[in-house]
Chain A
Amino acid sequence: MMSNFYTSDAGDMRNAATLQTLYKISEEDIQYIRGLGEFMLPQMDHMVHTWYEWLMTQPEYEQFFADSRALHHAQKMQHIYWEQFIEAQLDDNYVESRRKIGETHARIGLSMTIFFAGMSIFHDLFSKIMAQRNLKLKEQVRTIDAVSKLLHLDTGIVCEVYTIMSNETITAQSRSLMEMSTPVTQIWENILLLPVVGIVDSKRAQDIMNAVLSAINRTQSRIFILDISGVAVVDTAVANHLIKITKATRLMGCESTISGISPAIAQTMIELGIDVGTIKTTANMMDALNDSFRSLNLQIHKVER
């Protein structure tokens, strides 16, 4: 179930060993962190409790942890998290568990600010508890340094996954918007209309093609008006897509008109050297509709009352 969340190549997916080198976490650092275990683990309940007391003062608390089961679960996860932290077994399972946290935060919409603040509070708790021990100053400083490095590594992974997940969400949203916006409509007997708005990429061009061809098949329409006045850019790739669509409709006995060629688009197409051949184009949808009526021998009359 996990595997698909962040297989995207959109983010940094370094493995555990590489990350350890990157954050300059030495074996000595790991020993210092593990050395915390006997002292820290008995205090874990206290630490998690302190953290939740802080969280209760935040608006997020009501939203995410009002349900006692959710709270209990989060506290349990927190225990596991810090136990893993102190075990400092920096393998790919460790990295995976951190990615899972980023994934969870992104999925439920718990902000990175809360995560960062939480890490900072734990760092503070670590320092305070350390200070209670009778350690040499040098050893204390080394331990806190080691803890900081690992905290940074954790934070980095979580933040990376959070970003990837957010980007994925945006991509998915725009994708679904695009899919919704291929409404081929029969506006008159024998006339189909599709206004295209936004970006035409290869996936969308294919969607348009499918939608139009099946609409022609269904309605037996003779004319298809493709209005591109809302298209962001018409580059050679988009033009190629449009030309292909009109050729396909023609094969099905339906003539296409591309309407909505603005002055800017016309000029751009000329500069790019795009040759639309015999495809009929008009400046606006009204002209295209008028032409369609004419070729279907239809006339619109104002009725005298």
Chain B
Amino acid sequence: MGYSTKIMDYPKSIWIVIHREADITRSIFESQRMAQSLGFDHGRAQMIATAVSELARNIIKYAQKGKIIITPLNERRRSGIEIICQDTGPGIPNVDQAMEDYFSSSGTLGLGLPGVKRMMDEFEITSIVNQGTKVIIRKWL
């Protein structure tokens, strides 16, 4: 894709390669654990983990393989958590459509993306057909 994700850019990040269901489990636990260690309460940590779970499942479902990078954010006046979900799958031809409720190209409920967006404070998506999709989500304390 048009951006590079170098390991050195994320010194405190946890990287998880996603290519089977067990990796979803790991991304759920790791994001929940990091969120709680940053000071998110149990409910908000669970919400973050749910968002990560949703995105990780999308990787398996549509791209088979990808990665998730969970990063603690520490700015001068605020802190939070950032999760990057990146795959090299088929990409989403129409991102706007994918962001609508009840749209799914795989015949399932397809509520994932808009739901994730609602649960998080920030949501960015970049997708290039035949190259992949990158979703960045953030939640602030």
Partner-B contacts on A (CB < 8 A): 9-10, 171, 174, 199, 201-203, 232-240, 262-265, 267-268, 271-274
B21 on the A face (CB < 8 A): yes
- With contacts A233-B28, A268-B119 taken as known, whether A273 is within 8 angstroms of B114 at the C-beta atoms is yes
Please tell me if the beta carbons of B47 and A273 are within 8 angstroms of each other in the complex: no
B111 on the A face (CB < 8 A): yes
B135 to chain A, nearest CB (A): 14
Please tell me if the beta carbons of B24 and A9 are within 8 angstroms of each other in the complex: no
B46 on the A face (CB < 8 A): yes
Partner-A contacts on B (CB < 8 A): 19-22, 24-25, 28-29, 32, 42-44, 46-47, 49-50, 53-54, 57, 101-102, 108-109, 111-112, 114-115, 118-119
Please tell me if the beta carbons of B46 and A274 are within 8 angstroms of each other in the complex: no
Contact of B111 among A202, A232, A236 (CB under 8 A): A236
Whole-angstrom distance between the alpha carbons of A233 and B112 in the complex? 14
Contact of A233 among B53, B114, B115 (CB under 8 A): B53
Contact of B28 among A10, A174, A232, A274 (CB under 8 A): A232
Closest B residue to A265 by beta carbon equals B46
Please tell me if the beta carbons of B54 and A232 are within 8 angstroms of each other in the complex: no
A202 to chain B, nearest CB (A): 7
Whole-angstrom distance between the alpha carbons of A267 and B32 in the complex? 16
- With contacts A232-B29, A237-B57 taken as known, whether A267 is within 8 angstroms of B43 at the C-beta atoms is yes
- With contacts A9-B19, A174-B22, A272-B54 taken as known, whether A236 is within 8 angstroms of B49 at the C-beta atoms is no
- Chain B residues near A9 (CB-CB < 8 A): 19
Question: Can you list 30 A-B pairs, Cβ within 8 angstroms, ordered by A?
Answer: A174-B22, A174-B25, A232-B29, A232-B46, A232-B49, A233-B28, A233-B46, A233-B53, A235-B50, A235-B54, A235-B57, A236-B108, A236-B112, A237-B53, A237-B57, A238-B53, A240-B109, A262-B43, A264-B46, A267-B47, A271-B47, A272-B111, A272-B112, A272-B115, A272-B118, A273-B101, A273-B102, A273-B111, A273-B114, A274-B111
- Chain A residues near B46 (CB-CB < 8 A): 232-233, 264-265, 268
Whole-angstrom distance between the alpha carbons of A264 and B51 in the complex? 13
Closest A residue to B41 by beta carbon equals A264
B42 to chain A, nearest CB (A): 7
Closest A residue to B110 by beta carbon equals A236
- Chain B residues near A236 (CB-CB < 8 A): 54, 108-109, 111-112, 115
